[in-house]
Amino acid sequence: MSLDSTEKVYQSDLMHITPKADADIYGLKGDWVLRGLELDIGTGQVALHPGAALLQGRLYELSQLKTISTTGLTGNYWVGLNADLTQVNSSNGTFNNNQFTLTTNTTGAFGNLRDGDIQAFIPLWRVSGGVPSRVTLLYEDDTLLNSHFINGWSDAGEGGASHIRRVGRTVVMTLSIRKSTDLTNRTFINLDPVFRPSWNTFSTGVRNISAGAVTLLAHPSGEVETYLATLSTNDIIRGELTWLIDQPIQ
């Protein structure tokens, strides 16, 4: 029993797996934080909390708080995993992983281990003006929207019926919202960048005061509105939008 020359099965027992093949297997769906890895900003240092991430086909795990010096860094900088596959994973006859280190840089991402590069920097966080923002996103993210509405819009009081959830690149936003003031302003929320669609996304909702359907429109800028709708006081609108996001969020 054997494979033909046109076939390959990677990770079979006792078979050699190239770094690129390994990255192809685990990196197909992109780079994601699986859990944790929150970042705290301190004076002259940052601290990364325990967690795990899938980064260009490599599973990175951190079991305890890690501090990294930022002394001398000005302006924007990134915190992430540096890869150098030219390094040898041994030292004085004992195994030591010398190919990866968690560090900072001021230039952002470079290299792609999935494409066969042997050097890369894969950012987890971007720090601008002392404020961190995720570059590699949580694989799953779920937020109740009750307190996020703007311009006279509010939750319709149905106990958490309005929420947004992202699993990987797929986002679903479910709405039950009320319009009480500022009837000419149709924008009801401005989404966090980790949820924003990559292109304009339309859907159809229903309302109970001004009877009939209403078009819902989500913009790449994060603004979501009732598109070209004439609104009435206490209009309640219910609907759902689904879209995809691109990676990465820089």
Neighbours of 183 (CB within 10 A): 14
pTM over 0.85: no
Please report the beta strands in 106-211, taking only residues with DSSP state E, as ranges in sequence order: 119-128, 131-134, 140-144, 153-155, 163-167, 170-179, 187-190, 201-207
Domains annotated for the chain, with CATH where assigned, are 19-134 (2.60.520.10), 140-244 (2.60.40.1830)
Neighbours of 116 (CB within 10 A): 13
Please report the beta strands in 37-138, taking only residues with DSSP state E, as ranges in sequence order: 39-42, 45-48, 51-55, 58-62, 66-69, 77-84, 90-91, 94-95, 100-105, 119-128, 131-134
Instruction: Express each pLDDT in 6-37 by its tens digit.
Output: 546 566 666 677 777 777 777 667 899 999 99
CB 41 within 8 A of CB 77: no
pLDDT means per 10 residues, the chain with 250 residues, are: 57 69 73 94 94 89 92 91 84 74 92 88 94 93 93 85 93 95 94 93 86 90 92 91 77
